[in-house]
Structure formats: structure tokens, C-alpha cells
Structure 1
């Protein structure tokens, strides 16, 4: 019998993952990750991790599998929380869920599981794994989940071949409704439990309050930029080289306070992100204001009216070399080559047609259609059909 450690989170997905593995004849161990115990930043008095760990324990009990809790809060603070503060300080918007998978679940947690003699680690993610053999080498594929509405492959876009080789995704072939049905039939306490909404494993956290612990509030101005500004109207210049064209397409709009009118005040540019609409507290405009750019150095937020404001859209993005990651290293392309892919810049975004261009200093991704709110610090993931083959941090 192969031994599998399941990351039991106290939710229905990981509960059913454990049950299915047991049915398939694996020796299953349940492990709950405690990643946080600074209650000063959770919203409510309820202690989400305590409730979740109790639910996980009851599921393990019901299935008759060994269970224990591992405290990873020190590593979580170091690798996720401190990273988040650093990124927000730089005016970038990190994705803690992608990082949590790369740094915690499939690294620290996986090492603990393997040290317990496990052959595999399993999670309740909606994605699938397959393998292909090429020139005698085996490569592991990360495929999107069968439930298109729940597909979570994007959150795993930073996994390596080594990590995938040791991972199982038991519910990847199922629809969410089928997962709930199995949980009900097995009388698992998590069958009707709502999906968690919160920072990966921290629970319910108010982001601005969370950030305010480290990043001091600092008053600045909110500037509104008119959609008819000439900066948006200039026709694309003729380019002498592909490189010039790529640089032009991925270039951010640059603004100065004098380009628009001051319409309000804010408490810190680093609390805001591109495309954000809530929290600006500026009324009286015909259409709602959206953040089109933040400038943390001069502490200014630039906004535009309506979700079609041209300042929100760009056709291309750039990734620095050290932040490009190929899940399938054998499919990596080299400088001077190009690859047509499907890509997304956020979870749940429908896949978009795009082309990848690696260059000496980094990789460009050019979309067929302009994309809204391309945000530095977030991850872009690219696919060939339903296989996620690579990702990178937007810079």
C-alpha cells in the first residue's frame, strides 16, 4: 500500500479527497496545517483555524485515519506574510494563494509528509495530473480541473516537476456538486460547509487593516484622469524591430498630478491595486471611479471613470527572467522563438489568446485583445489547450 498524506483543511474538497484515496486502497494520513495565530488581524471573534482543525479531525475520525496538526505559522509568516508586505510596499499586488502553494503546501508541508514516509501528498484542488514520455524522460502535466467553474490550476502555476511527481489531485475529475454528494453519502461533517473565503489558510482578514500593521497610513491625493487624454489617442509608432514593438505594447502609462484633477484623499497608495473600485470614497461622478495606476513613491492614486476607461487596458505584459517559470521545462522556448498560447492574468478569468516572446532580458506576452488591469506582482499563467505549462510574475 502506498502512503498518502492529505492536507485536510476542514473543507469538503479535502475531506472527499481523503475518502476517495482510501477507496483506492492507499494508506491515508490526515494533516492539518496551522499557518496563523495572530488574532489581532482576523475580522471576527470566531477563530477560523480552530473550527477548521476540529472539522478536519472529525473527518479523519469518521474515515478512521490518523490525524495530526502541524504548526507552520513561522514559515508562513516568513515566506508569505513578509513577502506580501514587501510587495505592497513596492507598489505591487502579490497573490498569496499562488505563493502559499509554492512555498508552504508543496514545499514545507510536502517535506514534512515525505519525512513521515509518505509516497505522495494529496490536496482537494480542482485540477488534474497526467504524464507524458518524451525521449525516454517522463514529464508530469498539470491539467485544468474537469469542473470549469472551479478549475484551480492557476493557483498551482508555480509548481515544479519534482513537486508534481509527488502530488495527487483526487477530485480533479469531479464536479463540485458530485463532491458534495459524496460527502453527504458518507455523512462527512463538511458536506454542506461553505467554501472558505479568505487569505490562504489565515481566514477572514481585512486586507487594509492587515497591511496597516506594517505599512503606515500616509495621506495622499486621488487624481482623476480624463478618458480623452491625448496620451491614449496617440497612434502606435512604426517600429524598427520586434523588440521595440514589444516594449511599446507592454509599456505602462505614466501620469503626473498635473495630468488630471484632484478629486479626493487616500491613506496610502500601497493599500490600493489596479482595477480597484471599492474604498476610494469619492462620489459625485457620473460613472464609478476605478484605480488605473498607483504611484507609491509619490503616494498618488490615479483613477478613471468607468470600467471601459482606456487607462485600465494594455495589450502586453513583461516578466523578468528570474520570475519566469516553466512547469514543463521541455516546452520552454528560446530567445527569437514565439509560441501561441492561452493565458490568464487572474483566477477565474476566461483564457485569452496570446503569444509568448522570450528575449534576452525577460519574456513578453502579447494578447490578441487588450486586457484590463494588468497588475504588477500578480501571476500570469499560460496553457496549451487544458495544460498549464508555465507562469511568471508580472513586472
Structure 2
């Protein structure tokens, strides 16, 4: 009997994952991760982790599996929260869920599980694991979940072969309604529980309020750029190489206070992100204002009217050499090589046709169609068919 430690989060997905593993004959241990107890940063008066750990305990009792809680709040603060504040301060928008999987669930948590003699760690992610042989060695694949509406492979886009080797995703072949049905039949306390929203594992957090407790407000101006601005009709320079052209396309437009008109004030450019519409508190425009750029150095926010404003769209993005990550190391591109892929720049976005270009200066992802709100600090992930093969931080 192989031993599996399941990350029981107190939600329906991990509950059913634990049940399925038990049915398959594994020795299952439930482990709840407590990731936050810093009272100096109040998150909300509710205490979701207490409720969640209680639900996880009830599920473990019902399934007849041993259960314990591990406190990872120190590592979580250092690897996720501090990193997030630092990124926002520099005007980037991090993805805490992707980081949480790479740094906490499949690293710190996995090491604890293996120290308990586990052969595998399992989670309630909607994705699947495949195994093939390349050059006589086993290679693990990260495959999309069967439920196209819930596929969560994107959140695991930073995992390594070592991490995948020790991972199991028991509900990857099921749809969400099927998972709920199993939980209902078993009369699990989590059967009807809503999916958690908010920061990975912290629970009911409203991000702007969370950031304001660490990053000081700083009043600045909001500018509006007209859709017919001459900035969008400039002639392209003549490029000496494809790399030069891609570098130019990935940079986007530099806005200054002369580029548009002042339409309002804000409390700090570092609280805002590209593509954001809510929270600007500027009225009187025909269409909603969307953020097309932020500048934390000058503390300025640039906006444009409507979801089709030309300032929102770009065809190409760059990933710095140190930020390129291949799950399938055997497919990694060498300098000068290209690859046709399907890529996405955020969770739940439909996969888009794109070409990867690898140079010494980094990896360029060039989309067939311009993409809205390509945001620095977020992750781009690329697929071949239903396999996620690599990812990187948008720079």
C-alpha cells in the first residue's frame, strides 16, 4: 500500500480526492495547511481557516483517515505575501495562486509529507498527470482536467518534473458536478460548500485593502488617453532582425503626462493593474474607463474608454531568461528555435494560437491575435494539445 498525503483544504474537491484515493487502495493521510495568523495585518473579522480546518477534520473522520494540521504561516508570509507586496510596489501584478503551488503546496508541504513517509502528495486540482518515456527515462506530463470549465492546470504551470513525479490529481478525470454528486452521496459536510475566493489559502481577502495595510497611499493623477491618439498610428521603425521587431512589439507604448488629459486622482499607482475597471471612481465618460498603463515611478495611471481601446492590446510579450520554465525539459527551445503553441496569459482565458521565439535575450511569445491586458508579473503558460509544457513570468 502506497502512502498518500492529501492536502485537505476544507473544500469539496480535496474531500472527494481523499475518498477516491482510499477507494483505490492507498493509505491516505489528511493534512490541513494553516497559512495565516498574522494579527498585525487584519484580513477580515471572519476566520475562514478555522472553519475550513474544522470541515477538513470532519471529512477525515467521516472517511476514517488520520488528520493533522501543519502551520506554514511563516513560510507563506516569506515566500508569498512579502513577494506580493514587493511586486506590487514595483508596479507589477503577481499571481499568488501559481506561486503558492510552486513554493508552498508542492515544495514546503510536499517535503513535510515525504518526511511522514508519503510516496505521493495529492490535491483537489482539476488537472491530470500523464507519464511517457523519453530516451528510456520516465517523463511526467501536466494535462488539462477533463472538465473544460474548471481546468486548473494553469495554476500548476511552474511545477517541475521532480514535483510532478510525486503528485497525484485524483479528480482530474471528473467534472465539478460529478465531484459534488460523490460528496453528496457520501454525506460529506463539504458537499454544498461554495468554492473559496480570495488569496490562495488566506480566504476571504479583498486585495486592495490588504495591500493598503502594507503599501502607503500616495496621491497621484489619472490620465485619459483618446482612442484616436496619434500614439496608436505611428509608423513602425525598420528592424534589422526579427529579435528587434519582437522586442519593439513587446515593449508597448510609453505614456507621459502630455499624452492625455487629467480626469481624476488615485491613492497610489501600485494598487492598480492593467485592464482594471473598478475602483477608479471617475464618472462622466461615455464608456467605462480601463487602465491601459501604470507608472509607479511618476505615480501616474493611464486609462482609455471601453474594452476595445487600442491601448489595451498587444501581440507580443517577453519572458526574461531566468524566468523561463519548462515542465517538459526535453522540449525546451535552444537559442534561435521557434515553436507553435496554444498559450494563455490568465486563468480561464481560452487558449490562443501563438509562436515561441527563443533568443539569448529571452523568450518571446507572439500571438496570432492581439491580446487584451498583458500584465507584467503575471504568468504566460503554453500548451501542445491538452498538455501544459511550459510557462514564464511576463516581463
TM tier relative to shorter chain: over 0.9
Q: CA deviation at 1:42?
A: 5.3
Q: Distance in 2 between matches of 1:242 and 1:252?
A: 16
Match of 1:14 in 2: 14
CA shift for structure 1 position 238: 3.6
Query: How far did residue 256 of structure 1 move?
Result: 0.5
Indicate the residue corresponding to 1:180 in structure 2: 180
Flag structure 2 segments of 5+ consecutive residues without an equivalent: none
Counterpart for residue 29 of structure 1: 29
What is the alpha-carbon distance in structure 2 between the residues aligned to residue 14 and residue 208 of structure 1? 29
**Separation in 2, partners of 1:291, 1:214:** 23
Q: Which residue of 1 aligns with 2:258?
A: 258
Query: Aligned to 2:390, what secondary structure does the other structure show?
Result: strand
Distance 1:253 1:26 in 2: 55
Give the 3-state SS of the residue equivalent to 1:5 in structure 2: strand
Q: Is the 8 A contact 1:42 1:206 kept in 2?
A: no
Could you say what secondary structure the match of 2:376 adopts? coil
Question: How far did 1:45 drift?
Answer: 2.3
Residue in 1 that maps onto 2:52? 52
Q: 1:39 Cα shift?
A: 4.9
User: What is the alpha-carbon root mean square deviation over aligned residues?
Assistant: 0.9
Q: Is the 8 A contact 1:41 1:206 kept in 2?
A: no
Please give the alpha-carbon distance, in whole angstroms, between the structure 2 residues aligned to 1:376 and 1:228.
25
- Quote the Cα distance in structure 2 between the aligned partners of 1:282 and 1:102: 38
**Is contact 1:249-1:316 (8 Å) kept?**
yes
Does residue 157 of structure 2 align to residue 152 of structure 1? no
Hey, what's the Cα distance between the residues in 2 that align with 1:42 and 1:67?
Answer: 28
How far apart are the structure 2 equivalents of 1:364 and 1:43?
38
Instruction: Give the secondary structure class of the aligned counterpart of 1:75.
Output: helix
Distance 2:200 2:244 in 1: 39
Q: Which string of whole-angstrom CA distances, capped at 9 and with x for unpartnered residues, describes residues 331-390 of structure 1?
A: 001111100000000000000000000111110000000000000000000000000000
TM-score (norm. length: structure 1): 0.99
Residue aligning to 1:268: 268
Deviations 1:273-315 (A, max 9, x none): 0000000000000001000000000100000000100000000
SS at match of 2:284: coil
User: 217-226 or 242-251: which moved more?
Assistant: 242-251
Partner residue in 1 for 2:356? 356
Q: Where does residue 4 of structure 2 map in the other structure?
A: 4
Distance (Å, rounded) in 1 between the aligned partners of 2:366 and 2:236: 15
The match for 2:197 is 197
Matching residue of 2:278: 278
Q: Identify the residue that residue 378 of structure 1 maps to in structure 2.
A: 378
Alignment correspondent of 1:307:
307
What is the rounded CA distance, in whole Å, between the counterparts of 1:135 and 1:107 in structure 2? 27
Is 1:139 the counterpart of 2:139 in the alignment? yes
Query: Structure 1 residue 332 and structure 2 residue 359: aligned?
Result: no
C-alpha distance in 2 between matches for 1:318 and 1:137: 32
Q: CA deviation at 1:40?
A: 5.8
| Residue of structure 1 in register with 2:115 after alignment | 115
Deviations 1:132-168 (A, max 9, x none): 1011011100000000000000000000000000000
Q: Which runs of 5+ in 1 are unaligned?
A: none
Q: Deviations over 1:86-115 (max 9, x none)?
A: 100110000000000000000000000000
Q: CA deviation at 1:44?
A: 3.9
Residue 214 (1) aligns with residue 214 (2): yes
Q: Is the 8 A contact 2:338 2:355 kept in 1?
A: yes
Counterpart for residue 101 of structure 2: 101
Alignment partners' CA distance in 1, 2:154 and 2:236:
32
Q: Secondary structure at the match of 1:9?
A: coil
TM-score for both structures, normalised by structure 2: 0.99
Checking the alignment, whether the CA contact within 8 Å between 1:353 and 1:367 is kept in structure 2 is yes
CA distance in 1, matches of 2:40, 2:54: 21
Mapped partners of 1:212, 1:305: distance in 2:
27
